Amino acid sequence: MYQLIDGKAISAQIKKEIAEEVEAMVASGKKRPHLAVIIVGHDGGSESYVAGKVKDCADCGFISTLIRFEDDVTEETLLAEVDKLNKNEDVDGFIVQLPLPKHISESKVTEAIDYRKDVDGFHPVNVGRMSIGLSCFISATPSGIMELLRRYEIPTSGKNCVVIGRSNIVGKPVASLMMQKGYPGDATVTVCHSRTKNLKEICLNADIIIAALGQPEFLKADMVKDGVVIIDVGTTRVPSTETKSGFKLKGDVAFNEVAPKCSYITPVPGGVGLMTRIALMKNTLLAAKHEIY
Amino acid sequence: MYQLIDGKAISAQIKKEIAEEVEAMVASGKKRPHLAVIIVGHDGGSESYVAGKVKDCADCGFISTLIRFEDDVTEETLLAEVDKLNKNEDVDGFIVQLPLPKHISESKVTEAIDYRKDVDGFHPVNVGRMSIGLSCFISATPSGIMELLRRYEIPTSGKNCVVIGRSNIVGKPVASLMMQKGYPGDATVTVCHSRTKNLKEICLNADIIIAALGQPEFLKADMVKDGVVIIDVGTTRVPSTETKSGFKLKGDVAFNEVAPKCSYITPVPGGVGLMTRIALMKNTLLAAKHEIY
């Protein structure tokens, strides 16, 4: 019988731990952590992510500031706001919600953020320090995945870990973390992607599979061995008549057929997604405590 | 019959290309590229590496400046010199030869270098940008390896590439490059290390093996399949009665028994080592031309 990795329970637990720590900080005379969020335009996905972040801040006892620009904001204006937040001592960390309109360079904006306030962990200094093995802000999804492995005490040393997908926000950083010395890490890591030729064979040799390719129900039962640990990062909206909203979230793993072969598996929803949200709160707390920089 | 990858010929060819480009630059009124090298103490290895770098600069038509400190230099003095070189507009790029004495933080010194002059490619900004897939200074050994693959037109897309070793200067960055989109890259990359349990089985599935663990003649014929491409990064000095110096350089690969199974293989010496030297010259030229930053 497989063990379900309960991202909902773990993230609620972490949220509670953060909120308690914040109240203790405030009681001892320190200020509340303060996260600022810049949003540009009215993209539906971005709106709902940002609303979630503001709510999470409230739950954790953080102050949050939402800064809104319209779609036609110039890169110059946006960079000026970034500069203002870099210098604002009251703001511990901030993010610019992606994607940005096409006339604005995302990498230019990301690199303009002071890496010491880059709680999204997308600045090259944080990405580079993570690869080297130095302390840094780790981006939300990889951080959430590592926390799940840690809380469930899943062995990783010497395990064959297969990462499916090589995105900058999931595949590459989680591979980097899984190969670092220490726990969770010390895994033998294989990164697969669209050009990989023998994916099934590779997955059949995996002790841990981190699926982050964004293809609903891609990973089937005949691609995994018995006892595998599955971390499903996929969250694709597919039309559904079963829900009021008219859609359902699907992971990259065909859960019903794969789960019986697993030792541990994350559900979608209720797995990695919620951990991703809480990881931003953890980084903001770390920024407020100046524990990284 | 295997094809020997001739690092000596390729690096000589690149050196010639660089020297020609520099003379053309000078003829058109531009200044010569200028590399500065800081060396601390009198470590034998460092002395010979630095002497090699100064010679390479002369061969390429670069100006070089050697700045020497004794072992007892303070971190403060060293950081002040780094700051001076950051601001010196005549210096296009510079390096601080590692290792440094124990009382000096290598990561502090590395991070103090302006990443736009960091021709060693060790600054977190360059490491991070490489991982993200942005233009950057790529560190010498991974850069040399990619150049060999490119010059010999060795196919990499969809190939199983096994990297043995997870050091910050070879294993991790070369793995990062081999998994990027484009050529040479698009490989399915597996990073193995001391904790890996089934190394032989993994190597037997590899189309390309990059051996960078620093154990002389570690990789044996029974660990590789027919037609494999072998890049041997190892250079360990072992005592020898065959040479005047009393030692011989040994790679991580048991060359005599492995080579007959290969399609391509690098010798030691005469393979990756010389490419590593020329990669620093390439970065210095790129810095002088402001092609990266």
Same domain? A191 vs A80: no
Mean pLDDT of B15-34: 98
Domain assignment of residue A100, given as a range: 32-114
Mean pLDDT of B21-50: 96
Sort out which chain B residues have CB atoms less than 8 A from A181's CB and list them.
166
Same domain? A103 vs A157: no
Q: pTM for the whole thing? A: 0.96
- Tell if the CB–CB gap between B195 and A189 is shorter than 8 Å: no
A124 to chain B: closest CA residue: B128
A145 pLDDT higher than 90: yes
Mean pLDDT of A179-183: 98
Within-domain flag for B283: no
- Tell if the CB–CB gap between B189 and A188 is shorter than 8 Å: no
Q: Give ipTM to 2 decimals.
A: 0.95
Q: What is the pLDDT of residues B67-118, one digit of tens each?
A: 999 999 999 999 999 999 999 999 999 999 999 999 999 999 999 999 999 9
pLDDT band for position A195 (50/70/90)?
very high
pLDDT band for position B289 (50/70/90)?
very high
Same domain? B106 vs B151: no
Same domain? A81 vs A144: no
Within-domain flag for B243: yes
Same domain? A267 vs A179: yes
Tokens 């290969």, residue located: B262
Within-domain flag for B4: no
Same domain? B111 vs B175: no
Within-domain flag for B7: no
A278 pLDDT higher than 90: yes
pLDDT band for position B220 (50/70/90)?
very high
User: Is the separation of the CB atoms in B273 and B52 below 8 Å?
Assistant: no
For chain B, say whether A156 makes contact (Cβ under 8 Å): no
Tokens matching residue A186: 């010390």
Within-domain flag for B183: yes
What's the confidence (pLDDT) of residue B160? 98
A113 pLDDT higher than 90: yes
Same domain? B46 vs B113: yes
A115 pLDDT higher than 90: yes
Going by DSSP bridges, is the β-strand pair B63-69/A262-265 parallel, antiparallel, or unpaired?
Answer: unpaired
Mean pLDDT of B133-156: 98
B260 pLDDT higher than 90: yes
Indicate the residue of B124, B129, B157 with minimum beta-carbon distance to A195: B157
What's the confidence (pLDDT) of residue B1? 85
Same domain? B232 vs B169: yes
Indicate the residue of B132, B158, B168 with minimum beta-carbon distance to A168: B132
Cα distances (Å, whole numbers) of residue A281 to A14, A129, A136, B178? 9, 20, 15, 34
- Tell if the CB–CB gap between A172 and B186 is shorter than 8 Å: no
B108 to chain A: closest CA residue: A134
Q: How many residues does chain A have?
A: 293
CATH of the domain at A84: 3.40.50.10860
Buried b / exposed e over A88-112, threshold 16 CB at 10 Å, is eeebbbbbbbeebbeebeeeebbbb
- What is the average pLDDT score of chain B? 97
For chain B, say whether A265 makes contact (Cβ under 8 Å): no
Within-domain flag for A133: no
pLDDT band for position B245 (50/70/90)?
confident
What's the confidence (pLDDT) of residue A1? 85
pLDDT band for position B242 (50/70/90)?
confident
Q: What is the pLDDT of residues A27-62, one digit of tens each?
A: 999 999 999 999 999 999 899 999 999 999 999 999
Domain count, chain A: 2
- What is the average pLDDT score of chain A? 97
Omega within 30 of 0 (cis) for the link into A99: yes
B161 vs A139: CA distance, rounded Å: 27
Tokens 């979230």, residue located: A249
Of the residues B107, B131, B169, B198, the best mutation for testing chain A's interface (the one with the most A CB atoms within 10 Å of its CB) is B131
CA distance B12 to chain A (A): 32
Of the residues A116, A189, A293, the best mutation for testing chain B's interface (the one with the most B CB atoms within 10 Å of its CB) is A189
Same domain? B99 vs B159: no
Of the residues B114, B116, B179, the best mutation for testing chain A's interface (the one with the most A CB atoms within 10 Å of its CB) is B179
A245 pLDDT higher than 90: no
CATH of the domain at B239: 3.40.50.720
Options A120, A207, A232, A252, the catalytic residue: A120
Q: What is the pLDDT of residues B171-213, one digit of tens each?
A: 999 999 999 999 999 999 999 999 999 999 999 999 999 999 9
H-only helix segments in A113-260: 124-132, 140-151, 171-179, 199-204, 255-258
For chain A, say whether B198 makes contact (Cβ under 8 Å): yes
Q: Is A215 a catalytic residue?
A: no
Sort out which chain A residues have CB atoms less than 8 A from B190's CB and list them.
188-191
What's the confidence (pLDDT) of residue B82? 98
Same domain? B267 vs B157: yes
Same domain? B193 vs B260: yes
Sort out which chain B residues have CB atoms less than 8 A from A124's CB and list them.
124-129, 132, 134
pLDDT band for position A224 (50/70/90)?
very high
Instruction: Tell me, rounded to whole angstroms, the distance of Cα B292 from its chain centroid.
Output: 18
B55 pLDDT higher than 90: yes
Same domain? B162 vs B102: no
Within-domain flag for B13: no
B206 vs B173: CA distance, rounded Å: 19
What's the confidence (pLDDT) of residue B87? 98
Mean pLDDT of A91-106: 97
Query: Which residues of B form the catalytic set?
Result: 53, 97, 120
Backbone angles phi, psi at B65, to 5 degrees: -125, 125
Within-domain flag for B9: no
For chain B, say whether A116 makes contact (Cβ under 8 Å): no
